[in-house]
Amino acid sequence: MYNNTFILILSFILFTLKSFAEIDTKLYCTNLAKFTCAPGSNDDGTGSTSKVNQDKVHEFHSAYNAELAKNFNEILTSDKKEHVAFRKLSLNALGLSRGECLSSEAEEIKTCNTKITEGLIELASKDQFISQMTAEQILETQFANWSQGQGDLEDAVYIKNNLVFINAIDKTTSQLNKKSISLEQTQNKVEKIFPKVKFLLMERVTRLPIPEATKKILISKIDAIEMDKGPCLSRDQDKIAEKFLINASYNPFKNTLQICDGLMEHSNSEFDLVAIITHELAHSIDPCIIQLYPEGMAYRYKGSTQFEMDREYPIQGLILCLRSDKSLKAVNFSNSSSSKNMGAPPPSPYVNTPGYSNSIQQKSFNYCELQTNSRTGAKKQTDQIGEAVPDWFAAEIIVDYIKQNHPNLTEKQWQNGLTNTYKSLCSKEDHKNSEKDVHSPTEKRINAIFLANPKVRERLGCSEIQSKYVYCDAQKPEELMKNYEVTAPLPSHNTYYPAYPTNPPPSTGGEPK
């Protein structure tokens, strides 16, 4: 009797554990984004990744300010000629040439120096800590009034360009900005991963049902991409911000790829790094950037409306599928209002400009139209399809790479790894994205593209569970064109896009991936 009772209890426990496992698997199969964006770090056998710990950012920020205050105080109490001149400049530029700052009393001079230091630190911090900002936000920060009630931008410029100020920041930076061992290890890992991922992406293009001549153009462009190992932020004063910049980008004019230090400090999982590298490489052939290359080496659209160009993209039907509500529902914001009519395409500003062919001047240079911020002059793409297609390619490559390079991973490691993929997307303060973000909402990018991929679903044990979103199968162009022709959002009548932007567009990586 006792044996039978024991067997019944054991059977119940096993049944319960199996039920919990099935529930867990079902949750993975329906909302992977929930697990991807969960707190904590996950080891997947190739490395690990975690959401950015904002406490560490604030801790470093405080240490930086304390060290900077120490260095500024040494300058303000120094009797060196250049330091005395800098103190006088700071007093006037910060609006402090009054009260105790005109006194010769030791205590009042000390109080005054404290105020000067606070102003200088605020000015330095406005430039230093710009992590996770887009290029447009950085420009807005640099051009905005840096503080209220303490001088103005015109006076602040004199401080920011003073060698004493610059040297104080460089000294503080060198004291705190030592490259970690983990960063060097991840940089070495990226160098090894990069050529392998590039090969797999070219191989995937080879298998697409597109004309051979077009394949050669796309593959040649991908093959020429090089890794840019330089800093993502060019100025010396941005070295601290570089530590926290969670970003990667493809530069279409240099044909180079960059991964910022902040991202590599955050993740060394090959699942995540492969997805990032593939995404950025694929920007070279995304619908928005595919035309950015010299004449004869780039794909050119013949039409000039979104309706025409969505259907001309070499991978037939893919854009229509990604724009449908059964998939990502990628939006073109410049075309989202029903009554918009921009009229005929304007004359190209590059007419008769060396390096640009007049024969294509009236054809769209980049149909992901660029909108210009009237105050900063920064340009921003307005079509989510430019990010959707690279996401699609990343999902195509990830499983093949891991199978080839890590054949002995356990089922749990695969689960952790696929969860780690795109975890850096969750590092933004609002990972749901703004209403008109060129990136689709994080949850949909993960669930509608990555989780919809059959190879990913198979590795997660989701093959028998129906996906909420369709897989856009580029190997079946006729099926895609037939199924999504009606559901794809159509442009307003006679909507055109400029032949060339007034300035070359920026790199594509303003946000992580």
246 and 368 belong to one structural domain: yes
Task: With a cut of 60, say whether residue 498 has pLDDT above it.
Answer: no
Residue 495's pLDDT is 32
CB 94 within 8 A of CB 119: yes
Task: Determine what percent of the chain falls in helix, strand and coil, rounding each to the nearest 5.
Answer: 55, 5, 40
The sign of the CA dihedral 82, 85, 87, 93 is negative
- What tokens appear for 313 in the block? 């993209």
Tell me: do 166 and 201 sit in the same domain: no
What is the structure's pLDDT at 206? 97
In tens, the pLDDT along 420-437 reads 998 888 865 444 445 567
User: Of 236, 233, 240, 231, which is closest to residue 64 (Cα–Cα)?
Assistant: 240
Predicted local distance difference test score (pLDDT) of residue 488 = 46
Q: What are phi and psi of 367, to 5 degrees?
A: -75, -5
Residue 134 lies in a domain: yes
Residue 480 lies in a domain: yes
Characterize the bridge pairing of strands 370-372 and 256-259: unpaired
Lowest-confidence pick of 48-57, 128-137, 425-434: 128-137
**Joined tokens for residue 107:** 């205590």
- Do residues 219 and 207 touch, judged by C-beta distance below 8 A? no
Q: What is the pLDDT of residues 286-297, one digit of tens each?
A: 998 998 888 888
The answer to whether residues 417 and 317 belong to one domain is yes
**What is the pLDDT at residue 466?**
87
72 pLDDT above the threshold of 50: yes
pLDDT at residue number 429? 45
**Is residue 20 a part of any domain in this protein?**
no
Q: Same structural domain for residues 378 and 253?
A: yes
pTM of this structure:
0.71
* Whether pLDDT at 16 is above 80: no
One domain for residues 149 and 243: no
CA separation for the pair 363, 496 (Å, rounded): 10
As a whole number of angstroms, the distance between CA 393 and CA 45 comes to 23
Average pLDDT of the chain is: 76
Report the alpha-carbon distance of residue 394 to residue 396 in Å, rounded: 5
Query: How far from 421 is each of 110, 398, 513, CA to CA, in Å?
Result: 52, 9, 11
Q: Which of 176, 204, 235 is the endpoint of a domain?
A: 176
3 state DSSP class of 226: strand
Sheet of strand 226-227, all strands in order from the earlier edge strand to the far edge: 226-227, 256-259, 248-251
Burial of 221 (0-12, 13-18, 19+ CB in 10 A): buried
Residue 248 within a domain: yes
Tell whether the model's pLDDT for residue 234 goes beyond 70.
Answer: no
Q: Distance between CA atoms of 351 and 74, rounded to whole angstroms? A: 56
pLDDT beyond 60 at 31: yes
Most confident by average pLDDT, 34-43, 163-172, 389-398, 437-446? 389-398
171 plus 259 within the same structural domain:
no
Dihedral over alpha carbons 380, 386, 390, 392 (to 10 degrees): 140
Give the whole-angstrom CA distance, residue 410 versus residue 78. 63
Is the pLDDT confidence value at 64 over 60? yes
Q: 176, 205, 222 — which closes off a domain?
A: 176
Per-residue pLDDT of 341-378, as tens digits, reads 322 233 333 233 233 233 333 333 345 665 555 544 54
Q: Are residues 268 and 355 in the same domain?
A: yes
The three-class DSSP label of residue 106 is: helix
Claim to verify: residue 219 and residue 299 sit in the same structural domain: yes
- Owning domain of residue 156: 54-176
Which amino acid is present at 339?
Answer: S
Q: Give the total number of structural domains in the chain.
A: 2
Q: Tell me, what's the pLDDT at 2?
A: 52
Q: Which residue has the higher pLDDT, 499 or 386?
A: 386
Verify that 190 and 155 share a domain, yes or no. Answer: no
What is the pLDDT at residue 166?
A: 86
In this structure, are 161 and 194 located in the same domain? no
**Higher pLDDT pick, 180 / 161:** 161
The answer to whether position 22 is within a domain reads: no
Of 65 and 54, the one with more pLDDT: 65
* Per-position DSSP letters for 420-481, written without gaps between them: HTTGGGGGSSSTT--TT-SSPPHHHIIIIIITTSHHHHHHTT-TTSPPSS----TT-HHHHH
Largest CA distance in the chain: 97
Q: Do the domain assignments include residue 45?
A: no
Residues 151 and 234 in one domain: no
| CATH number of the domain to which 213 belongs | 3.40.390.10
Q: What is the pLDDT of residue 54?
A: 53
Instruction: Give pLDDT, residue 184.
Output: 87
Are 464 and 30 spatial neighbours (Cβ–Cβ below 8 Å)?
no
The residue with greater pLDDT, 309 or 181, is: 309
pLDDT reading at 131 higher than 80? no
Q: Is residue 23 part of a domain?
A: no
Same domain, 259 and 309: yes
In this predicted structure, what is the pLDDT of residue 136? 41
pLDDT, greater one: 121 or 178: 121
Torsion sign over Cα 468, 478, 337, 332: positive
Each residue of 175-233: pLDDT tens digit? Answer: 766 666 688 889 999 999 999 999 999 999 999 999 999 999 999 999 999 999 888 87
What number of other Cβ atoms are within 10 A of residue 502's Cβ? 11
Residues 302, 362: Cα–Cα separation, whole Å = 10
Domain boundary among 176, 197, 217: 176
pLDDT score at 210? 95
Task: Give domain status of residue 457, yes or no.
Answer: yes
> What Rg value do the Cα atoms of the chain yield, rounded?
27
pLDDT computed for residue 121 by the predictor: 87
Structure tokens that stand for 320 in this block: 């229509």
pLDDT at residue 389, as a whole number: 97
Does residue 136 contact residue 371 with C-beta atoms inside 8 Å?
no
Treating both helix axes as pointing N-terminal to C-terminal, what angle do 270-282 and 385-405 enclose, rounded to 10 degrees?
140
Q: Check residue 357 and give its pLDDT.
A: 31
Answer yes or no: is pLDDT of 15 > 80: no
| Cα–Cα dist 33/215, whole Å | 33
